[in-house]
A and B are shown apart, each in its own frame.
Chain A
Amino acid sequence: MPGTEEAAAATSAAKRDRIFLVVVDDSPERAVALRYACLRARKGGGRVALLRVIEPVGLVEWAGVGVMMQEERREEAEKMLSGLAAEVNEITGGFPILIIREGESRDELLKLLEEDPRISILVLAMAPGSGGPGPLIAALTGRYANRLSVPLTLVPGALDEKELDRVT
């Protein structure tokens, strides 16, 4: 009943404030998670937030080299996120919130969820195939499940655009 849902979204202001958080990693299925979150935001109201966690630079013997590495990684992350932001804008008509963190992706994600109460749903896509859903999902549904402070939506990574359109 898409009609009633959209009508409900228009009336409830609270719903428009909800934020779908998508973790931007280098896996192919992240596109599915991003598309799902965008479609949900467009059809049901809300915004999309993109989190990119960059790997910290370890010790390098030259400080200048270390600083430059950090800058280049950040620049790369910014370029990547702004590219995806255009994609999000095309689907939802609004620009997403861009978040760049430095550290280990699971820890930074949990920290962000603790710090930012605006985030309402975490959207992750599962890797297609029999190799397991991916390390992040495995951690968040296993050992770290108790630290999760928002609902987690798992999107099968094999869904194509039409199917995604149907389920949102």
Chain B
Amino acid sequence: MQVYLPIAEMSVDALLLLGIGFGVGWLSGLFGVGGGFLLTPLLILIGIPSPVAVASGANQTLGASVSGLIAQWRRDNVDLRMGLVLLAGGFVGSALGVQLFAALRRAGQVDVAVSFFYVVVLGTVGMLMVRESVRAIIRRRRTGVSAARTGEHTWLHGLPFKMRFRKSRLYISIVPPLLVGFGIGVLSAVMGVGGGFMLVPAMIYLLGMPTSVVIGTSLFQVVFVSANVTLLQAWQVGSVDIVLTLLLLAGGVAGAQFGASMGTKLRGEETRALLGLLVLSVALGLAWDLIRAPENLFAIGLAR
């Protein structure tokens, strides 16, 4: 069942899109993540142009994260003040990221740049995930695996503009959260991800936030930054494809329900290792796409 995507200017199998949406939604329900970091590269791999894939990834992340944010908000697990500081950085970062994206597109380098970003980020993340879970499987519950926090006092505490974050029980400078928000914002704009999978460890290890508020607060940042990215991408790059997004979201919503109900039944380490392998294989697929000889060595296109 082929459908024509008006913005991507190509036709694809609607069932394939529904399937991808379902699979990514399933994973996002299972792990409580946005899933943009898998959706965008998968779309690129089936031939969707990078700008459209990135914008749709951001959109999908938004859809997947809103319900999570509402749930966390009800349980009072959002540090609003920290969320707003992160968001301030995130807005600046995503606005700049979209400019960068538009500049790359004008230079005709956007496909290579997005793929390259993905190969680096997904490669690193996938490797870390696999390593972590393999270790956990090897010494399963022999002793309580102690996750060491970094030292209580670092140079981060010497920075100015301190602010009290009551819910996180922190009194720290707002510079680190602003920078973290900024970095995630740039990645969100260029890669079409929510960035939760990097934001969560950054909040715990860099900012020292308690884990109980980390998920909710990161979702807060992700929802608003990905909304901003979708809007800016649609406005400045003109690359949000409504047909594509609707099909993906339809599959995604169903998948997320399915994943969320399975979440507690699966063994953590194995599932996590599989996720890591999946992330790695997507990175390898993109890397192969970058280095192999293209089918059409030359292409003729209209300059926009």
Contact = CB atoms under 8 A, between A and B. Distances in A.
- A is bound by B: yes
B147 A60 contact: no
Interface string B116-151: 000000000000010011011000000011110100
A90 to B, nearest CB: 28
Contacts of A60: 31-32, 200
A94 interface: no
A63 B200 contact: no
Nearest to B275: A61
Give the interface SS of chain B, mostly helix, strand, loop or mixed. Answer: helix
A64 interface: yes
Contact of B32 (A59, A71, A76): A59
B296 to A, nearest CB: 37
Given A56-B264, A71-B147, A72-B212, A62 B32 contact: no
B200 A59 contact: no
A79 B133 CA distance: 30
Interface residues of A, number: 17
A68 interface: yes
Interface in B174-216: 197, 200-201, 204, 210-212, 214
A67 interface: yes
A58 interface: yes
Given A64-B147, A72-B211, A59 B263 contact: yes
B30 A59 contact: yes
Contact of A61 (B147, B197, B264): B197
B136 A58 contact: no
Interface in B82-138: 129, 132-133, 135-136
A64 B212 contact: no
A123 B180 CA distance: 48
Interface string A57-88: 01111111111110111001000000000000
Contacts of B30: 59
Contacts of A67: 145-147
Contacts of B144: 71
Please name the 5 residue pairs, one residue from A and one from B, whose CB atoms are nearest each other, closest first: A69-B211, A68-B147, A67-B147, A63-B132, A64-B147
24 contacts: A56-B264, A58-B263, A59-B30, A59-B32, A59-B271, A59-B272, A61-B129, A61-B272, A62-B197, A62-B200, A62-B201, A63-B132, A63-B133, A63-B135, A63-B269, A63-B272, A64-B132, A65-B204, A67-B145, A67-B147, A68-B204, A68-B211, A71-B147, A72-B211
